[in-house]
Amino acid sequence: MTTLIINIKELLQVENVPKKMVCGKEMKIIPSIKNAFLLIENTIIKDFGKMEDLPKINTEKIIDAKGKTVLPTWCDSHSHIVYAGNREQEFIDRINGLSYEEIANNGGGILNSVLKLQQTSEEELYQQSAKRVEEIMKLGTGAVEIKSGYGLTKEAELKMLRVIKRLNENYPITIKSTFLAAHALPSEFKNNKSGYLDKVIHEILPFVAKEKLADYIDVFCETGYFSVDDADRLLKAGAEYGLIPKIHVNQFTAIGGVQVGVKYKALSVDHLELMRDEDLEILKNTGTMPVALPSCSYFLSIPYTPARKIIDAGLPLALATDYNPGSTPSGNMNFVISTACIKMKMTPEEAINAATINGAYAMGLEKTHGSICKGKKANFIITKEIPSYGFIPYSFGNSHIDKVFMEGKEI
């Protein structure tokens, strides 16, 4: 099956030689072709170029994209989409003055979602999560990472990971899976953190690895959750099973989480709302992608990741949603891009790079996703008629998407 898109006003994020990521000043550039065509063969991008260079070809389907922009689908490298129920009561408690930490200390927060998830059947969890996956696909997300971490028992963590696996099998969106049993301390281990880590490392992790249920390992390295030493123990054990880290660091306090991530060659270090100079320095010349989650800052009213400091230091940056029931009940990458421009002073080009190729890198998907490149997956967005791509972040809160294609098919 071949599909030809013609008369594209502007085709964004094109490349002939696939790159791994974009860093620093390069992030200000989005390579594009005006008045372009895009040719799809089955699930793959076959060709693209200027309309004047369009070869004579027979295609089964032609789409006229006059006045419209085409760009790769978003790559959301950090989410917790598999969860049970919601936490809108905590949202109201926060409006009435309680902090996220105070809610967690009163037995709410992550442990609230853990209880709900443990009481939810695997089938029901799948159904609730599938709805969210369908929702983000319509919003233009073509690849997403999903974490466990609301189970905290062997049984419940495996239930989450099996649901992630099934979602990946059943939907055209590409899904990467991360094992996050060190997300919070379950109440039965309240005064025995090392006992819980022993259980994660010796009982759950070997099973997860054997069954190939996770691509990555994660830990919430934060004051009151897991220390740098705890993270070190866990990441060391993960490495023994070949699990690369993608970790939660520097959300509320900067305690050395970035350093432990770099030590274990983390693919990404995520959150980074607080960044010390030494945290920036250690990331230079590594393969570790810094990831910012602006919707989380928006929802919790906490500082935004200092994107300017990170990019101006020559580092790369990726943007993701953090879609979860507690700190970010939204999986809208379009909103993430707008918020990054409005609140973090990223340019539209930087935000689009961060949400496509750099997001793909942060999931190990840069060879197949994140750009318009021959041989990559035919995952792309056709916008409505918009004056320029800067309009996408500028006109925030509105949908500019006309069609979304994944693996060559309109969804």
Give the one residue of 325, 331, 348, 364 binding ligand NIG; rule: CB under 6 A: 325
Q: What is the DSSP letter of 308?
A: H
Q: Is 281 exposed, middle or buried (0-12, 13-18, 19+ CB in 10 A)?
A: exposed
User: Could you tell me the two tokens for 163?
Assistant: 């649901």
110 binds, among Fe ion, ligand NIG, none (CB under 5 to 8 A by kind): ligand NIG
Judge whether 70 and 5 are in contact, CB under 8 Å.
yes
Closer residue to ligand NIG in complex, CB, 178/379: 178
Binding of ligand NIG by 220 (CB under 6 A): yes
Give the one residue of 132, 199, 248, 400 binding ligand NIG; rule: CB under 6 A: 248
* 112-131: contacts with ligand NIG (CB under 6 A): 113
CB of 268 to ligand NIG, least distance (A): 13
Give the one residue of 3, 251, 268, 305 binding ligand NIG; rule: CB under 6 A: 251
Burial code (b: 16+ CB inside 10 Å, e: under 16) for 133-162 equals: beebbebbbbbbbbbbbbbbbbebbbbbbb
Closer residue to ligand NIG in complex, CB, 82/392: 82
CB-based contacts of 351: which residues, under 8 Å, 6+ apart? 319, 337, 340, 341, 393
User: Could you tell me the two tokens for 260?
Assistant: 């432990």
In DSSP terms, which residues pair with 289 in a beta bridge? 268
Binding of Fe ion by 273 (CB under 5 A): no
CB-based contacts of 275: which residues, under 8 Å, 6+ apart? 250, 254, 258, 305, 306, 309, 310
Size of the site for Fe ion (CB under 5 A): 1
Among the residue ranges 105-113, 119-127, 132-140, 303-311, the one whose residues contact ligand NIG (CB under 6 A)? 105-113
Nearest position to ligand NIG, beta carbon: 326
CB of 107 to ligand NIG, least distance (A): 13
Cα-to-chain-centroid distance, residue 241: 23
Give the one residue of 218, 273, 322, 349 binding ligand NIG; rule: CB under 6 A: 322
Binding of Fe ion by 322 (CB under 5 A): yes
Cα-to-chain-centroid distance, residue 383: 21
Among the residue ranges 108-116, 136-144, 190-198, 350-358, the one whose residues contact ligand NIG (CB under 6 A)? 108-116
296 binds, among ligand NIG, Fe ion, none (CB under 5 to 8 A by kind): ligand NIG
Among the residue ranges 67-75, 101-109, 322-330, 384-392, the one whose residues contact Fe ion (CB under 5 A)? 322-330
Closer residue to ligand NIG in complex, CB, 183/199: 183
Q: Rounded to a whole number, what is the distance in angstroms from the first to the last CA of the chain?
A: 16
Closer residue to ligand NIG in complex, CB, 59/99: 99
In DSSP terms, which residues pair with 248 in a beta bridge? 220, 270
Q: What is the DSSP letter of 356?
A: T
Closer residue to ligand NIG in complex, CB, 245/326: 326
Nearest position to Fe ion, beta carbon: 322
Size of the site for ligand NIG (CB under 6 A): 12
Binding of ligand NIG by 140 (CB under 6 A): no
Collapse the DSSP code of 107 into the 3-class scheme (helix H, G, I; strand E, B; otherwise coil) and give the result: coil
Among the residue ranges 35-43, 306-314, 318-326, 365-373, the one whose residues contact Fe ion (CB under 5 A)? 318-326
Here's the x/- map for ligand NIG, 278-317, by CB under 6 A: it reads as ------------------x---------------------
DSSP structure string for 181-226: EETS--GGGTT-HHHHHHHIIIIIHHHHHHTT--SEEEEEESTTSB
- The span from the CA of 136 to the CA of 131, in Å, is 9
Binding of ligand NIG by 110 (CB under 6 A): yes
* 335-374: contacts with ligand NIG (CB under 6 A): none
Among the residue ranges 64-72, 259-267, 321-329, 342-350, the one whose residues contact ligand NIG (CB under 6 A)? 321-329
Name residue 144's amino acid: V
In DSSP terms, which residues pair with 216 in a beta bridge? 178, 244
Q: Is 54 exposed, middle or buried (0-12, 13-18, 19+ CB in 10 A)?
A: middle
Q: How many CB atoms lie within 10 A of CB 238?
A: 25
CB of 75 to ligand NIG, least distance (A): 18
User: Could you tell me the two tokens for 397?
Assistant: 């809160």
Binding of ligand NIG by 324 (CB under 6 A): yes
Binding-site ranges for ligand NIG (CB under 6 A): 109-110, 113, 220, 248, 251, 296, 322, 324-327
Q: What is the binding site for Fe ion (CB under 5 A)?
A: 322
